[in-house]
Amino acid sequence: MALQDSTGTTSVTRTTQLSPEALDDALAPLAAILGDRLLTPSADEFAETAAVFVGGPVRTPTAVARVRSTDEIAAALAVARDAGLPLAVRSGGHHQARHGLVDGGLVLDLRLLDGVDIDPAAGVGRAQGGVLAGAYTAAAGAHGLATGFGDTGSVGVGGITLGGGIGYLSRHDGLTVDNLLGAEVVLADGRVVRADADEHPDLFWALRGGGGNFGVVTRLDLRLRELRTVTGGMMMWAPAPETLATVLRTFTEGSEELGGMVNVMMAPPVPMIPAELHGTPVIMALLCHSGTAAAAAEVFGRLRALGPVLDGVQEMPYTGLFEGPGGPPPGGMGDARTGFVGAGAWTPDEAWAADVIQAVSGAGGPAAVNLRAMGGAIGRVDPAATAFAHRDPTLMVTVGKFAPDVESLPAASAWVESTARAFGISGRGYVNFMGTATEQDVRNAYPEATLARLREVKRAYDPHNLFASNHNVAP
Q: Give the residue-averaged pLDDT of 78-96.
A: 84
Which regions of the chain carry the CATH code 3.30.43.10?
23-109
The residue with greater pLDDT, 285 or 331, is 285
Q: Give the residue-averaged pLDDT of 375-392.
A: 96
pLDDT for residue 337 is more than 70: yes
The string over 5-19, giving b where at least 16 C-beta atoms fall within 10 Å of a residue's C-beta and e elsewhere, is bbbbbbebebeeebe
pLDDT tier for residue 433 given thresholds of 50, 70 and 90: confident
Q: Looking at 56-70, 112-126, 187-201, which range is the least confident one?
A: 56-70
Q: Residue 3: what pLDDT?
A: 34
Q: Residue 11: what pLDDT?
A: 34
Q: What is the dihedral of CA 336, 7, 409, 393, to 10 degrees?
A: 10
Architecture of domain 23-109: 2-Layer Sandwich (3.30)
pTM of the model: 0.91
pLDDT for residue 324 is more than 70: no
171's torsion region: left (phi>0), alpha (psi -120 to 50) or beta?
Answer: alpha
Q: What are the pLDDT digits (tens) for 162-189?
A: 999 999 999 999 999 999 999 999 999 9
Cβ contacts of 368 within 8 Å, gap of 6 or more = 1, 263, 264, 265, 266, 360, 398, 399, 400, 401
pLDDT for residue 326 is more than 80: no
Which regions of the chain carry the CATH code 3.40.462.20?
229-439
pLDDT tier for residue 9 given thresholds of 50, 70 and 90: very low
Outline where 194-318 has alpha helix (H).
Answer: 201-207, 241-252, 293-304
The residue with greater pLDDT, 403 or 169, is 169
DSSP string, 95-119: -GGGTT--TTSEEEE-TT---EEEE
CA–CA distances in Å: residue 346 to residues 114, 303, 343: 42, 21, 6
Q: Residue 118: what pLDDT?
A: 98
**Cross-strand pairs, 283:** 237, 264
Q: Looking at 112-116, 211-215, 419-423, which range is the least confident one?
A: 419-423
CA 468, 471, 475 angle in degrees (round to 5)? 55
Spelled out in words, what is the top-level CATH class assigned to the domain 116-226?
Answer: alpha beta
How many Cβ atoms sit within 10 Å of the Cβ of residue 475? 17
Q: Give the residue-averaged pLDDT of 299-321.
A: 96
Architecture of domain 229-439: 3-Layer(aba) Sandwich (3.40)
pLDDT tier for residue 52 given thresholds of 50, 70 and 90: low
Phi, psi (5° rounding) for residue 416? -60, -45
Q: What is the mean pLDDT of the chain?
A: 89
pLDDT for residue 228 is more than 60: yes
Q: What are the pLDDT digits (tens) for 68-84?
A: 999 999 999 999 999 99
